[in-house]
Amino acid sequence: MITVLYFARLREALGTGQEQLVLPAGVSTLRGLRAHLAQRGEAWAREMAEGRNLRAAVNQTVAAADTPLADGDEVAFFPPVTGG
Amino acid sequence: MSVRVQQQDFDISAEITAMRSGNPKIGAIASFVGVVRDVNDGDSVSTMTLEHYPGMTEKSIAAIIDEARGRWEVLDALVIHRVGTLKPTDQIVLVIVASTHRGDAFAACEFIMDYLKTQAPFWKKEITPQGGRWVDARVTDDKAAERWKT
């Protein structure tokens, strides 16, 4: 199982902030997970589309699309940050 | 070095006093306070809610402070960032850096703030007369962080 978190505008658009899922067969990277999630339906396809300016983290560290994923990972997707 | 993410307000004077006490090596303290404005992108703002990523927020700010310590002499540093719902005139963020001399204190304080704006996982949602809206990231903030790379 992996934990997937969604924050801010993304959380609202998808209607969920956190879920647990079994790493789907054939998905081994962040890019692969994003593509997998994009197949879930309209909101997911729109928000997870490759052109959308999304950031991601794996185990609470900012991660690039080719970052490998493993069972037990905490993955997060979020819009560019706006703190301070 | 410490990082606090909290709902409650902070007192810059008390924090500086605490940092200074018992450390005679400190010769300079630079600080920055971020405050909620009542207008953004031309619309009046009644309240603002700050969301963050618990765990990663603290880790990412600690990493920014570590990077500042690698570049300048930093005797102590404190970052407090508030979350939850805030209104115009409320304080949002505090950065305090102590060093031997002012140059390092000024530079490290500005660096920490510029990196926090572009790397720490906080998101602002503001309420305007048109309703709620998530604040967009600013190119000027990316540029402010970029200039430290040269």
Domain count, chain A: 1
Which pLDDT score is estimated for B123?
Answer: 98
To the nearest whole angstrom, how far is the Cα of A61 from the nearest Cα of chain B? 7
Q: Is A20 a member of any domain?
A: yes
Please state, in angstroms and rounded to a whole number, the distance separating the CA atoms of residues B100 and B78.
Answer: 16
Distance from CA of A6 to the nearest CA of B (A): 9
Distance from CA of B11 to the nearest CA of A (A): 17
Nearest-neighbour CA in chain B from A64: distance (Å) = 14
* Residue B20: Cβ within 10 Å count: 14
Interface of A with B (CB under 8 A): 5, 7-9, 57, 60-62, 76, 78-84
Comparing CA positions, the residue from B68, B142, B70 lying closest to residue B108 is B68
- pTM assigned to the model: 0.94
HSE-CB of B65 using CA atoms within 13 angstroms: 21
pLDDT in tens, chain B (150 residues): 999 999 999 999 999 999 999 899 999 999 999 999 999 988 999 999 999 999 999 999 999 999 999 999 999 999 999 999 999 999 999 999 999 999 999 999 999 999 999 999 999 999 999 999 999 988 899 899 999 987
Q: What chain A residue is nearest to B94 in terms of C-alpha separation?
A: A84
How high is the pLDDT of residue B89?
A: 97
Q: What is the pLDDT of residue A65?
A: 95
ipTM over 0.90: yes
Residue A83 belongs to some domain of the structure: no
Residue A55: inside a domain: yes
Residue B121: list chain A partners with CB under 8 A.
7, 57, 76, 78, 81, 83
CB B7 within 8 A of CB B91: no
Question: Any idea what the CATH number is for the domain that residue A22 is in?
Answer: 3.10.20.30
- Decide if A84 is inside a domain: no
Residue among A57, A60, A80 whose CB faces B137 most closely: A80
Asked, for residue A45, whether it belongs to a domain, the answer is yes
Q: Are B97 and B114 in contact (CB under 8 A)?
A: no
Give me the pLDDT at residue B138, please. 87
* Domain extent at residue A40: 2-78
Tokens, residue A28: 């081994």
Chain B, 13-72: which have a CB under 8 Å from a chain A CB? Answer: 34, 50-53, 55-56, 59-60
CA distance B83 to B90: 11
Answer whether residue A22 is part of any domain.
yes
Ranges in chain A, pLDDT < 70? none
Tokens of A64: 């690039």
CA dist B113 and A40 (Å) reads 38
- Candidates B50, B59, B134; nearest CB to A83: B50
- CB proximity list for B87: less than 8 A, separation 6 or greater: B36, B46, B47, B48
Kindly state whether residue A74 falls inside one of the protein's structural domains.
yes
The confidence score (pLDDT) of residue B139 equals 87
**Over A6-59, what HEC string results?**
ECHHHHHHHCCCEEEECCCCCCCEHHHHHHHHHHHCHHHHHHHCCCCCCEEEEC
Q: What whole-number distance in Å separates Cα of residue B96 and Cα of residue B81?
A: 12
Residue in chain A nearest B121 by alpha carbon: A81
Instruction: Search chain B and give the residue with CA nearest A5.
Output: B53
- A71 assigned to some structural domain: yes
